[in-house]
Amino acid sequence: MCIALALPFAPLALFTPILTGGVSPISQLIFPITIFSNSVLFAAASGFYMIIRNVVWHKKNGAKMFVGTLADESFGKKLLVLITGYKMSIAKLQQKWHVFPMEDIEADGKRKLVVIPRDEGREKIVDRLSNAVQAGTIDRYVWATPGLPMLIFVTLGLIVALFFGDIVWMLVQLILA
């Protein structure tokens, strides 16, 4: 809302986008929509980074992505976990407060994927996973996701909108041309 109040229209007098096709009709009228669409595009692109990171980890370690009872999870859950998370050691997960576990272990020792991690139970879940690793019931790598605030993507969307324009508009023009 602050960006919408500060920059309701594209500041073409101050910043002329480097790419001339980047000025969309929407950005001339409602500039915050351009910033938001760029932000959403960059947030979605982080999924590609996660997939590449997971493939590299798999090739480097030669380990299966989903072991034990995690292999029994649905294809949809596995796909969401691959796009939004990555494997990391339990020791690193304990050190990093902004990374959330995407799996949990039940009382019977069965691992399950958690697609939407919750902050309020993070420490308890990490403790359960750590105890299971120390007991040797699971390996030391668990699925985790970084808690990336949307503000990072909004800032990136603003910078790109000022210097390059509306990325979504340019992609639509590229597809339709």
**Residue 17: inside a domain, yes or no?**
no
pLDDT of residue 106: 85
Dihedral angle sign, alpha carbons of residues 157, 160, 165, 169? negative
Alpha-carbon span 49 to 38, nearest angstrom: 17
Q: Within a domain: residue 4?
A: no
Distance CA 135, CA 129 (A): 10
Amino acid symbol at 56: V
In-domain check, residue 14: no
- Count up the domains in the chain and report the number: 1
Q: What is the pLDDT confidence band of residue 13, given thresholds at 50, 70 and 90?
A: low
Q: pLDDT tens-digit profile of 121-153?
A: 888 899 999 999 998 888 889 999 998 888 999
21 within domain boundaries: no
Question: Which structural domain range is residue 151 located in?
Answer: 26-176
Please tell me the pTM assigned to this model. 0.78
Distance, in Å, from the CA atom of 56 to the CA atom of 45, rounded to the nearest integer, reads: 17
| Range of 2-11, 13-22, 102-111 with top mean pLDDT | 102-111
* pLDDT beyond 80 at 35: yes
Q: Give the confidence band of 91 by pLDDT, cuts at 50, 70, 90.
A: very high
Q: Which residue has the higher pLDDT, 119 or 68?
A: 68
